[in-house]
Structure formats: C-alpha cells, structure tokens
Amino acid sequence: MKIRSGVLFVTVAMWLGSVMLAANPPQAAPANGAQLDAVLTSMDKAAAKFKSIECTFEWDQYTKIVNETDVQNGTIYFRRLGSTSVEMAAHIEKPETKIVVFSDGVIRIYQPKQDVEQVYNAGKNKEEFESFLVLGFGGRGHDLVDKFDVQYAGTDAAVANAAKLVLTPKEAKVAKVFSQIILWIDPSKGVSVQQKFIEPVSGDYRLAKYSDIKVDQKLPDGAFTIKTTKKTKILTPNG
C-alpha cells in the first residue's frame, strides 16, 4: 500500500510499518565535533518548550524511473497535547485541495472534490509514528543518535545557512524504508527548514521545504478539523 494522494503521505504506510525514533535517554553525539553537538542541543532546547508550529510548505515527490516530480503546496500545523501526544494537520492547496489530519493514532485524508475520506489507524505504531512526525519539529536532537548515524555536513548557504544533518538508519527494517534522511536545521529555532527522505534501490525521494515558520503562536480555529458532508464516502484501507 503506497499512498500517492498526498506527498507527505506517500510514505504513510511505510511509516506505520517502521519503528523510528524512541524516547531513550540522550547518548553522546558521534565524533562529528562540537558543531554537531551544538545543532542537536538547539533541537533539544526547542523540543523542551515545543507547543505548536505553523508553516507553509512545498512537498516535491521525485520518481526516478519516470524522472517526474509531483509538487504540492499548502500549510501545515503541529501541536503537542500533554507531555507525549502530537497532532498534525496539513491543508494542501495546490494542485488540488486536500486536508490531512493525524490525531489520536488515526490518519484522515479528505478530498473535498471527490468527497472521499480515507482513514488509516496507526494502531500499535502510534507512538513511533508521532515521533517520526516531529522529526525536526519538536523532536529532541540527541535522541537521533540512538537510531541513526548522524553526520554534520556543514551549513547550506542555499537553504538559509541552515545546518545540514545526514541521518543513516542503524536498524535494517528502517533502512528498507529510507536509506538516508537529510535535515536542514535552523540553529536559532532548532527546527527543520527542509527535509529530504531518500528511498533505497529506487532512488525516489521526498523533498519538503518549509517557510514562514511560526513557533508557539495561536493556531487558526478549525486547523485540525475536517468538515465532511452527509454524502462523504469513507474508506478504511487498513481496516
């Protein structure tokens, strides 16, 4: 099952089947030096006070075999509920209106034009999925080194001088989903301004670009609400 109805959720099924970041105690950073540790520490500080984030996005899903890129634009919202739970909502505006909400372990994807809602249950993978959602958005930096080999690749002048981190999964089952994950972190905010998820074998990747990032500001009313109709068709692909 590979969902191509939304660029972020191209990999929903893979995320649900993978064990990603764990809430383990921080470990020492790999031998990339003080610069890496400084970036991870900035992420730790952001995670400690993280409440909500709103930003605009551009998602580019590149398919190598046909050399095509599917581009979507919109606004995404994150908020923390209590000490552990996270909600996410993506309002896709182009090329077609679509609303995606993750809340309480359930992913809902609503397409107003077709009046169809797809519902996926994260089940036992809820916590792992939530941890992956906040990768670079409220997740602790030093937790990364438990599941990934983390390399500091300098600053990228083309991406707002963000610190570039290259993550290589340590676990084989995660490496089957993504061979590498690259994060561009704004050191002043401790959050991602760009992310790249590279799939093994195929060479396909998802490049996510974030801008106009608003941290811990009031989110719009109804940001996490999907308004369906009496005629909405509900699909539950994973039961």
pLDDT tens-digit profile of 212-239? 999 899 999 999 999 999 999 999 876 5
What average pLDDT does range 196-221 have in this prediction? Answer: 93
**Quick check: 160 pLDDT over 70?**
yes
User: Which pLDDT band, with edges at 50, 70 and 90, does 83 fall under?
Assistant: low
**Quick check: 8 pLDDT over 90?**
no
Quick check: is 43 in a domain?
yes
Nearest Cα residue to 226 out of 73, 110, 120, 75: 110
**Quick check: 205 pLDDT over 80?**
yes
The enclosing domain of 135 has a CATH number of: 2.50.20.10
For residue 155, list its beta bridge partners.
Answer: 163
Quick check: is 235 in a domain?
no
pLDDT of residue 131: 63
Quick check: is 238 in a domain?
no
Question: Where does residue 119 fall: left (phi above 0), alpha (psi -120 to 50 degrees), or beta otherwise?
Answer: beta
Contact 175, 192 (CB under 8 A): no
Nearest Cα residue to 91 out of 103, 105, 109, 106: 109
CA distance 165 to 167: 6
Domain of 112, in residue numbers: 8-217
Domain count, the chain: 1
User: Which pLDDT band, with edges at 50, 70 and 90, does 163 fall under?
Assistant: very high
Quick check: is 147 in a domain?
yes
Quick check: is 88 in a domain?
yes
User: Which pLDDT band, with edges at 50, 70 and 90, does 20 fall under?
Assistant: very low
Quick check: is 1 in a domain?
no
Segment (H or E) for 169: strand 162-169
**Quick check: 197 pLDDT over 90?**
yes
pLDDT of residue 238: 65
What average pLDDT does range 122-135 have in this prediction? Answer: 69
**Quick check: 147 pLDDT over 90?**
no
User: Which pLDDT band, with edges at 50, 70 and 90, does 86 fall under?
Assistant: confident
For residue 77, list its beta bridge partners.
Answer: 54, 89
Quick check: is 224 in a domain?
no
pTM: predicted TM-score of the whole model, two decimal places? 0.82
Task: Pick the more confident residue, 128 or 48.
Answer: 48
- First-last CA distance in the chain: 13
Quick check: is 164 in a domain?
yes
pLDDT of residue 85: 77
**Quick check: 181 pLDDT over 70?**
yes
CA distance 33 to 212: 30
DSSP conformational letter for 37: H
Decide the pairing of beta strands 116-121 and 233-235: parallel
**Quick check: 66 pLDDT over 70?**
yes
Contact 136, 165 (CB under 8 A): no
**Quick check: 133 pLDDT over 50?**
yes
pLDDT of residue 239: 57
CA distance 208 to 74: 11
